[in-house]
Structure 1
Amino acid sequence: MNFIEKNVSVEKAVIILSKNGIQVDEKEAKIILELLYLVSKNYDKPKEKKTLYP
């Protein structure tokens, strides 16, 4: 996966996760980051609902 702008390094992700009680190594943190980048890339904001009555 290629992302132009990766704002969070693997090392930073390990630190953030460990502060929240989640112990991961760099390989696991990389997988987590790739998943989060993929989810954010494919996230589609909810569209405005149209009502039947004005």
Structure 2
Amino acid sequence: MNFIDKKITVTQAITILVKNDIDADKNDAILILDFLYLISKNTNKIEGKTSESLTTNRTSKKAR
């Protein structure tokens, strides 16, 4: 699978996994990242959302 807007590199994923005592190599990290991006993509489709960054979901207006 090829996701254009990947924000986390394989190296970053391995670092995060190691910090959480999970031993993973490059292939494991690629598989995990692809799975998480796929879940995210499908969740957005179900909820009727498109891929957006967190900044577009934030608002500077106070709730009344």
Q: TM-score range by the shorter chain?
A: 0.7 to 0.9
Q: Give the paired residue count.
A: 45
* Structure 1 residues 1-54: aligned runs within 5 Å: 1-43=1-43, 44-45=46-47
Structure with the higher helix share, 1 or 2: 2
Following superposition, the deviation at residue 4 of structure 1 comes to: 1.4
Higher CA-based Rg: 1
Structure 1, unpaired ranges of 5+: 46-54
Structure 2, unpaired ranges of 5+: 48-64
Q: Which runs of 4+ in 1 moved over 6 A?
A: none
State the AA in 1 paired with 2:23.
Q
TM norm structure 1: 0.78
Secondary structure class of the residue paired with 1:41 = helix
Q: Distance in 1 between matches of 2:17 and 2:3?
A: 21
The RMSD of aligned alpha carbons is 0.8
